[in-house]
Amino acid sequence: MEKTELLGLSAVALGSAIKSGRTTAVEAMEAVLEQIERQDKEYNCYVTVDREGALKRAGEIQKRIESGELTGPLAGVPVAIKDNLCTEGLRTTCSSRILDNFVPAFSAEAVLNLEKAGAVVIGKTNMDEFAMGSTTETSFYGPTKNPRNPEHVPGGSSGGSAAAVAARECFFALGSDTGGSIRQPASYCGVVGMKPTYGTVSRYGLIAYGSSLDQIGPLTGNVEDCATVLELIASYDKKDSTSIQRTDTDFTKALVEDVKGMRIGIPKDYFTEGLNPEVSAAVLKAAEVLEKKGAVTEEFDLSLVEYAIPTYYTIAAAEASSNLERFDGVKYGFRTGGEEGLHRMYRKTRSQGFGPEVKRRIMLGTFVLSAGYYDAYYLKALRVKAMIKEAFDRAFAKYDCILGPVAPTTAPRLDASLSDPLKMYLGDIYTISVNLAGLPGISVPCGTDSRGLPIGLQLIGDCYQEKKLIQIAYTYEQCGGSYHETI
Amino acid sequence: MANNITDDTIEYVSTLAKLDLNGEERERAMLDMSRMLDYIDKLNELDTTGVEPVSHVFPLQNVFREDEVTNGDGSGDTLKNAPEEKENMFVAPRTVE
């Protein structure tokens, strides 16, 4: 098959082309590696490309496809993995100096699930350091650039994964989402991204940031790919104590073009002055498209929207400060040289190994958990979190799904965000409450602004209602057209 | 700013967090933390009397299992990542004289 045609295929289309013998897993891998070679110096989607390993594994997988052993929809399809998911024998850095030389002895469960299904890992994608950031600019390995316009950020923290999908440097990718880290870069890069219900995908092997909020999910070129990947990575896993046993993970069954009678709620409090008018218009137009297809839309007050960000940053920072205690220069990663005494070594290693945003959140998290402040800050946030969850419960008593923007703007320019952290945090306003309430959310491209930058539509569902989201997103994509084009 | 983070607080928190902040980083940390706490104080607008704090949104229960080794002895592979190792152990700087 000709390279341009091959790179233009969706993951599912490539899987079936390999199965039917029109191309091979090796040809597909060679095509993405060539694409990476040609473009990635500019985009910087990858921290590590496992060139030789990827070609070798592609060859082995091809044999198992030909022998009839591997028959799944993504057998032979090249995948990019966010660099906070452990991959056995392949360097995993979290885009941090402190893990610059870390080579895991095991793979994350989600990665193993993909490999069992025959997907072939290309390499590890760039991210904000320890997933803390919204632009992929806090990476120790330099920023990733948005392939739709390289003067802009790809979003974050899964910016490398989203950009790699948009730049056709992979056929799909895995990311992780703690406060919007899959959905927001998907929106900025014009791809599909989904955060499943908390507990659906095992977090085993995901290097923890905010454990009660973290969830792994797919970044793909279209909704069909998204459902297919999610179906493969969802699993009950005893190694993750928050893993949930579900029997309804046949997500591809929901790829049905029908929204007749579906009740869609549009939160009035999402469409306020902070929202860019072009984003607002594109999102409301998407609602009209769904209405024409038979959905019933209605505006309502979700309430508590402005309290989600302070709640999130308290809880996430607290969990981060605890989770990141393990990076101390003893068991793995970077250790400073020439320090006498254990505690001196800990402090110097961590100070040199972590970047500014990570230190900022560790400091804040340590403070809100410290004696005298725990009740006033941390427990207060956990109480507000309960109220936010109740607000969603009230909404889902009336609606099948909530529709709104993913982010208040399209992708900012490079170097425009990090100088004012609080302002950057405000950009997470529409995504963050979904993590606090453990809900599923999907980001689907719904147009571009006047500068040609992609705009994302967010659909939020009640717990375990991924299928409703997939069905609505798929229906919208079928009539709205996806952003699936080769750069 | 309502939350005035002092030098002493930064010193205390950075000791707890096992971080050394240099002069410029300290100044920045004081400012950032004050601003964030001012922002977080917004939560005090809400009356949360009688609301139970929720750490997990789903009713999670402890999951018990037998303490059996199922993944073999991975100590060799684990130690490969150690900055320093000796006789199948991690080496750390001296802790007591």
Does A422 touch chain B if contact means CB atoms closer than 8 Å? yes
ipTM above 0.85, yes or no: yes
Does B86 touch chain A if contact means CB atoms closer than 8 Å? no
Please give the angle made by the CA atoms of A17, A23 and A24, to the nearest 5 degrees.
105
Q: Which two tokens stand for residue B28?
A: 């920045």
Query: Please, what is the average pLDDT of chain A?
Result: 96
Does B87 touch chain A if contact means CB atoms closer than 8 Å? no
Catalytic pick from A96, A134, A139, A157? A157
**Residue A338's pLDDT is what?**
78
Give the distance, in angstroms, between the CA of residue A72 and the centroid of all CA atoms in the same chain: 23
Percent of chain B with pLDDT over 90: 61
**Residue A390's pLDDT is what?**
96
Interface probe, candidates B13, B65, B77, chain A, greatest A C-beta count within 10 A: B13
Looking at the domain assignment, is residue A358 inside a domain? no
SS3 at position A78:
strand
Closest residue to A307, CB basis, from B46, B54, B93: B46
B58 vs A198: CB contact, 8 Å cut-off?
Answer: yes
**Looking at the 3D structure of chain A, how many domains does it have?**
1
Phi then psi for B83, rounded to 5 degrees?
A: -60, -35
Give the distance, in angstroms, between the CA of residue A187 and the centroid of all CA atoms in the same chain: 10
Which 40-79 residues of chain B touch chain A by CB within 8 A?
40-46, 48, 51-58, 60, 63, 65, 71, 74, 77-78
Note down the domain range covering A122: 3-254
Looking at the domain assignment, is residue A16 inside a domain? yes
Residue A237, CA atoms < 13 Å, CB-side half-sphere? 18
**Residue A316's pLDDT is what?**
98
Q: Which two tokens stand for residue A54?
A: 């990827």
Looking at the domain assignment, is residue A485 inside a domain? no
Q: Any bridge partners for residue A445, and if so which?
A: A456
Looking at the domain assignment, is residue A480 inside a domain? no
A82 is catalytic: yes
Structure confidence at residue B55 as a pLDDT band (50, 70, 90): confident
Q: Domains in chain B, ordered, with CATH? A: 1-36 (1.10.20)
Per-residue DSSP letter, A375 = I
Structure confidence at residue B1 as a pLDDT band (50, 70, 90): low
Percent of chain A with pLDDT over 90: 95
Interface probe, candidates A100, A383, A425, chain B, greatest B C-beta count within 10 A: A383
The lowest-confidence range among A143-152, A261-270, B57-66 is B57-66
- Regarding predicted confidence, which is higher, B91 or B94? B91
Structure confidence at residue A436 as a pLDDT band (50, 70, 90): very high
Q: Any bridge partners for residue A300, and if so which?
A: A267
**Residue B63's pLDDT is what?**
77
Interface probe, candidates B8, B43, B44, chain A, greatest A C-beta count within 10 A: B43
Q: What is the pLDDT of residues A179-238, one digit of tens each?
A: 999 999 999 999 999 999 999 999 999 999 999 999 999 999 999 999 999 999 999 999
Looking at the domain assignment, is residue A425 inside a domain? no
Closest residue to A105, CB basis, from B41, B77, B95: B77
**Residue A481's pLDDT is what?**
59
Of all residues in chain B, the one with the smallest CA distance to A327 is B18
Q: What is the pLDDT of residues A316-350, one digit of tens each?
A: 999 999 999 999 999 999 999 877 799 999 999 99
Looking at the domain assignment, is residue A81 inside a domain? yes
A157 is catalytic: yes
Catalytic pick from A10, A158, A176, A181? A181
**Residue B94's pLDDT is what?**
86
* pLDDT exceeds 80 at position A487: no
Please give the angle made by the CA atoms of A239, A205 and A251, to the nearest 5 degrees.
75
Q: What is the pLDDT of residues A271-295, one digit of tens each?
A: 998 999 999 999 999 999 999 999 9
Burial class (CB in 10 A: 0-12, 13-18, 19+), B23: exposed
Structure confidence at residue B60 as a pLDDT band (50, 70, 90): confident
Structure confidence at residue A486 as a pLDDT band (50, 70, 90): very low
**Residue B97's pLDDT is what?**
67
* pLDDT exceeds 80 at position B14: yes
- Sequence-distant (6+) residues with CB within 8 A of A428 are A134, A179, A180, A184, A309, A312, A407
Domain holding A71: CATH number?
Answer: 3.90.1300.10
User: Quick check: bond before A161 cis, omega within 30?
Assistant: no
Of all residues in chain B, the one with the smallest CA distance to A362 is B17
Phi then psi for A90, rounded to 5 degrees?
A: -120, 125
* pLDDT exceeds 70 at position A483: no
Looking at the domain assignment, is residue A115 inside a domain? yes
Instruction: Find the mean pLDDT for residues A170-185.
Output: 98
Looking at the domain assignment, is residue A432 inside a domain? no
Instruction: Find the mean pLDDT for residues A379-383.
Output: 97
